[in-house]
């Protein structure tokens, strides 16, 4: 048998059949960091009333992308998400930390939606800032936790402080 649930015994890709699974409450959280020049981070994080809010543009892009995850990831199931939230907070003087949380009651989980939200938000930060800092790097995009479903809970072990 294939080790990969997305391949059948002959190695053909397939959308895994979730028809027999019960719909349960599922939550997934993911995160990632965009590393940049301190001057870029300072420009993004100007106080209230600043001219232009990079984080809001990135947040909206991430939310919209989460809704379209099944259009992007070939074998993901289409899902009617209940909730998507994204936060972007400074991490040290050269990092913008992006966290997402996605919720649903469904037969399958929303890990990919949470990860897609983070990566598209990160790409949008890159796009908004690239004219001043083309060397930005997207780092450490990972699932933080998930709950619900037959595979049970997942929580990433702490790995030291973000931005350290």
Picking from 119, 118, 101, the residue whose alpha carbon sits closest to that of residue 110 is 101
**Residue 153 marked as a ligand binder:** no
CB atoms within 10 A of CB 33: 22
Specify the residue, 92 or 154, whose C-beta has the smaller distance to its own copies.
Answer: 154
**What's the chain's length in residues?**
164
Residue 66 φ/ψ, nearest 5 degrees: -60, -40
**Least distance from its own copies to the Cβ atom of residue 139, Å:** 6
Binding mask 25-64 for its own copies (x = CB under 8 A): x------x----------x---xxxxxxxxxxx-xxx-xx
**Residue 115 marked as a ligand binder:** no
End-to-end CA distance of the chain, in Å?
43
Annotated catalytic residue within 71, 94, 127, 133: 127
- Cβ 116 vs Cβ 73: under 8 Å: yes
Does the annotation count 8 as an active-site position?
no
**Residue 64 marked as a ligand binder:** no
Considering only 22, 72, 99, 164, the residue that binds its own copies (CB under 8 A) is 72
Contacts of 67 (CB under 8 A, 6+ apart): 81, 84
Asked if 128 touches its own copies (CB under 8 A), the answer is: yes
Binding mask 76-105 for its own copies (x = CB under 8 A): xxxxxxxxxxxx---------------xxx
Interhelix angle 54-67/111-129, rounded to 10 degrees, is 150
3-state secondary structure of 83: strand
**Residue 76 marked as a ligand binder:** yes
Q: According to CB under 8 A, which residues from 8 to 27 bind its own copies? A: 8-19, 25
**Least distance from its own copies to the Cβ atom of residue 143, Å:** 6
Judged by CB under 8 A, how many residues of this single chain contact its own copies?
A: 93
């Amino acid at each position: 048998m294939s080790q990969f649930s997305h391949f059948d015994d002959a190695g053909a890709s397939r959308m895994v059949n979730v028809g027999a699974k019960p719909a349960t409450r599922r939550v997934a959280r993911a995160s990632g960091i965009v590393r940049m020049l301190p001057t870029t981070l300072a420009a993004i994080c100007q106080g209230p009333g600043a001219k232009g809010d990079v984080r809001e543009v990135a947040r909206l892009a991430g939310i919209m992308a989460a809704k379209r995850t099944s259009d992007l990831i070939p074998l993901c199931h289409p899902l009617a998400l209940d909730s998507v939230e994204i936060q972007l907070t400074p991490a040290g003087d050269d990092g913008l930390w992006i966290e997402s949380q996605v919720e649903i009651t469904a037969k399958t989980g929303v890990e990919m939606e949470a990860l897609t939200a983070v990566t598209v938000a990160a790409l949008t930060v890159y796009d908004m800032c690239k004219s001043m800092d083309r060397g930005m790097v997207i780092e450490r995009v990972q699932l933080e936790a998930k709950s619900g479903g037959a595979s049970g809970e997942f929580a990433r072990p702490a790995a030291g402080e973000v931005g350290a």
